[in-house]
Structure 1
Amino acid sequence: MYNQGNQSISGKELSYISDCLKNEELLTKLCVQGAVECQSPTLKQTLTHLSQERLQNISTLMNTLQQHSGMTH
């Protein structure tokens, strides 16, 4: 178990966060690829928005991992 101040996170939880990070990265790539290749402006806008949301999730997950592993930017 990793401790950060009063908080602790298990190895299993860290593994889960890592898996989520990989999934978000894959979803981001798929959304970007779809936005580049699609012909519909509405679909392109939706996929672009979804990719931005995925990037925000990646940022949140990375911050969580950094907080609990003692990493710095």
Structure 2
Amino acid sequence: MYNNQNQGNQTITGKELSYLSDTLKNEELLAKLCVQGAANSQSQSLKQTLSQLSQERLQNVSILMNTLQQQSGITH
């Protein structure tokens, strides 16, 4: 999908950074909605499914943040 000719010196463009920012916001929103849905659900199986989905979304946020930090050299 993405082929960088100069793989030793990859930089994130402004457009890619904007895309990643939107993706992070979306993943966080989905996680919050899943948590809210699990809290309001009467069905135990639905609660479990939504809880699992929220964990997956939060894991995606963590992966995206780690990748961004590695690409930019940022550490906390």
TM-score, reference length from structure 1: 0.87
Report the number of matched residues.
Answer: 69
Residue in structure 2 matched with residue 72 of structure 1 by the alignment: 75
CA shift for structure 1 position 49: 0.4
- Secondary structure at the counterpart of residue 39 of structure 1: coil
Q: Percent identity?
A: 77
CA RMSD of aligned residues (A): 1.1
Residue in structure 1 matched with residue 20 of structure 2 by the alignment: 17
Bigger RCO (CA 8 Å, 6+ sep): 1
Moved over 4 A (4+): none
Structure with the bigger percentage of strand: 1
What are the ranges of 5 or more consecutive residues in structure 2 without an aligned counterpart?
A: 1-7
CA distance, structure 1, for counterparts of residue 40 and residue 26 of structure 2 = 21
Choose from 31, 46, 64 the match for 1:61: 64
TM-score, reference length from structure 2: 0.84
